[in-house]
């Protein structure tokens, strides 16, 4: 079989790129512990309001016995519920979020709080906010005409 030398060269380059990218991924997975989210937890999106955790009256901020906080949020076209979240600075906060309808995202600019909200799954992020202030919690996955108006207020109070 005849293979044009130029084509052969590009076959080698393609293979080298695949090997190179796989090596980078493996390196960061092992050295920097960069991995896909490990919390795989399913939930019935349609019946969120009937669940123990994501019913309307259960949403919001809860203080745990160890001093950390858990924030339960439902995302639905077009808003995050609750609309106002208040947590102290420099304290571990675990967000547990679920979408009631379509794919949404959540993103708090100037912090490392960001995740996708895939219908049917619970998204969980643990972080802490070093600086007190008022932040906005935005949707960053296009979810329909009201996408631009989908946000909540996040207030980080000085820790006592």
Give residues in contact with ligand CUA (CB under 6 A): 104, 139, 141-143, 147, 150
Closer Cβ to ligand CUA, 71 or 88, answer by number: 71
CA distances from 150 to 132, 143, 147 (A): 23, 9, 5
User: Is the CB of 88 or the CB of 105 nearer to ligand CUA?
Assistant: 105
Cis check for the bond before 125: say yes or no (omega within 30 of 0).
Answer: no
Q: In whole angstroms, how close is the CB of 4 to ligand CUA at the nearest point?
A: 48
Whose tokens are 């920097």? That residue is: 32
The β-bridge relationship of strands 104-107 and 114-117 is: antiparallel
3-class DSSP state of 48: helix
d(CA 151, CA 138): 5
Paired tokens of 155: 């207030």
User: CA–CA separation, 120 vs 118, rounded Å?
Assistant: 6
In angstroms, what is the minimal distance from the CB of 143 to ligand CUA? Answer: 3
Nearer to ligand CUA, 89 or 118 (CB): 118
User: Please, what is the minimum distance in Å from the beta carbon of residue 18 to ligand CUA?
Assistant: 34
Is 121 strand, coil or helix?
Answer: strand
Instruction: For ligand CUA, give the closer residue by CB, 53 or 141.
Output: 141
- CB 141 to ligand CUA: min, Å: 5
Nearer to ligand CUA, 130 or 144 (CB): 144
Shortest distance (Å) from residue 101 CB to ligand CUA: 9
CA–CA dist 77, 99 (Å, integer)? 9
């Amino acid at each position: 079989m005849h293979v044009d030398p130029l084509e052969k060269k590009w076959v080698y380059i393609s293979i080298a790129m695949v090997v190179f990218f796989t090596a980078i991924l493996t390196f960061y997975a092992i050295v920097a512990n960069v991995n896909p989210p490990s919390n795989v937890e399913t939930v019935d999106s349609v019946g969120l309001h009937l669940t123990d955790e994501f019913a309307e009256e259960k949403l919001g901020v809860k203080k745990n016995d160890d001093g950390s906080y858990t924030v339960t949020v439902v995302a639905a076209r077009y808003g995050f519920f609750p609309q106002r979240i208040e947590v102290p600075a420099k304290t571990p906060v675990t967000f547990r979020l679920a979408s009631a309808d379509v794919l949404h995202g959540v993103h708090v600019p100037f912090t490392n709080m960001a995740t996708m909200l895939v219908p049917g799954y619970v998204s969980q992020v643990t972080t802490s906010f070093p600086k007190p202030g008022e932040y906005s919690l935005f949707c960053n996955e296009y979810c329909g005409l009201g996408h631009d108006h989908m946000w909540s207020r996040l207030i980080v109070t000085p820790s006592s």
